[in-house]
Amino acid sequence: MINLLSQPLIIAFFVSFLTTPLVIRLFKKNGWAEKPNPKKHPKNIHTYPVPRGGGIPIYLAILVTTLIFLPLDNHLLAILIAGLINLAIGIVDDLFDISPYLRLGTNSLSALIIIIGGIGIAFITNPLGGILHLDQPQLTFDLFGQARNIWLISDLFTIFWIIWCMNIVSWSGGVDGQLPGFVAIAALTIGALSLKFSQDIAQWPVIVLAGAVAGSYLGFIPFNFYPQKIMPGYSGKSLAGFFLAILAILSGAKVATAILVLAVPMIDGIITIARRLAKKHSPFWGDAEHLHHLMLKAGMPKPKIAIYYWLFSALLGMAVLNLNSQQKFWAFTMLFLLIGGGIVLTRILINKKAD
């Protein structure tokens, strides 16, 4: 059964690894390398022109791999179409820096396509015990002579979950090599967890998709690690959150697993939203106050920041494989207090040093 994970991973790795240089060459040839300009946007921290567009080789790797190993059913078709929309709007943003509200709208469209494709969260495990069913209430209606159901709570939660992951993961991708490393680890964790239940054939597509996602981002790392030759761009970042959200849903509503293995981006995202709202700023408008920005201001080099993100994600990934739902809840609560407190304290110390 390990081949269900390893073979897609290897193929996706090589597709991503071989196509990324072609994308770099294409973008440079057309003058699409982004020049360093912090005044244009404070989150721009690179010091030399770097092309974006990392989503192109990543999506191609996932597309090729899944079409090799999986039948093109309604679920996979919805995933690939929604992913293609994310890629398209991501490339537009990589080239022209569109409004974050337009990006949010396309995030919502992607989530709706997933729901139309029949993918959703029917239940989640209650960390305090039992199961929380999300499949009621339902609206039933006829469409083209067929009965259709809308699961109100389930569909709303699925939309929120996909949009949340796409944005939170995207926000933790500002340092060379940072994002593809922890995304690959998160995908491998979900794939490994699904392997534990591989006697259920419903888990096989999840394992294949997890391998494809992990391989595509691993193949991208050699070109994105310091000093980066290409950035993931919004295309690569939004696809990361999108596919991790889908993996969490398809693996049997492993939302708690995804939240815990992505604890650092999740906690940084929650604090970022709270901070922006407290300042009466839009939570969707970027700034240079994320955790990796604070680590840079504290004097930590970019390679170390990326590696710390990878190591912490790997440790959480290994831990989450052996925790039940209640333990995951308390683990995340403890991490929130520790990491959140650390972020706040670091910001205070940096501000005092600046004064």
Q: How far is CA 39 from CA 42, 44, 98, 280, in A?
A: 6, 8, 16, 21
Tokens in use for 150? 């809308």
Q: What's the distance, CA 82 to chain centroid?
A: 14
DSSP-derived 3-state class of residue 5: helix
Do the Cβ atoms of 313 and 335 come closer than 8 Å?
no
Rounded to 5°, the CA angle 251-254-256 comes to 165
Report the pLDDT value the prediction gives residue 16, as an integer from 0 to 100.
98
Q: How far is CA 200 from CA 42, 65, 121, in A?
A: 48, 22, 18
Q: Quick count: other Cβ atoms within 10 Å of Cβ 136?
A: 10
H/E run at residue 88: helix 74-96
DSSP-derived 3-state class of residue 152: helix
Indicate if the alpha-carbon torsion angle 83, 88, 93, 94 is positive or negative.
Answer: positive
The C-alpha atoms of residue 350 and residue 141 are separated, in whole angstroms, by 57
Residue of 279, 165, 225, 216 lying closest to 12 (CA atoms)? 216
DSSP-derived 3-state class of residue 199: coil
Place of tokens 């190591």: 311
Question: 339-348: which pairs have CB atoms within 8 A and are 24 or more residues apart?
Answer: 339/263, 339/264, 339/267, 339/268, 340/267, 340/270, 340/271, 343/267, 343/268, 343/271, 343/291, 343/294, 344/271, 346/294, 346/295, 346/298, 347/289, 347/294
Q: Averaged in consecutive runs of 10 residues, what is the pLDDT profile of the chain (355 residues)?
A: 88 98 95 72 69 96 97 95 96 91 94 92 76 77 64 90 95 94 96 83 90 98 96 95 95 84 94 90 83 89 95 93 86 92 84 68
Place of tokens 């995340």: 332
DSSP E strand boundaries for the chain: 33-34, 50-51, 123-125, 131-133, 138-143, 146-151
The C-alpha atoms of residue 258 and residue 249 are separated, in whole angstroms, by 10
Report the pLDDT value the prediction gives residue 141, as an integer from 0 to 100.
65
Residue of 315, 336, 314, 210 lying closest to 266 (CA atoms)? 336
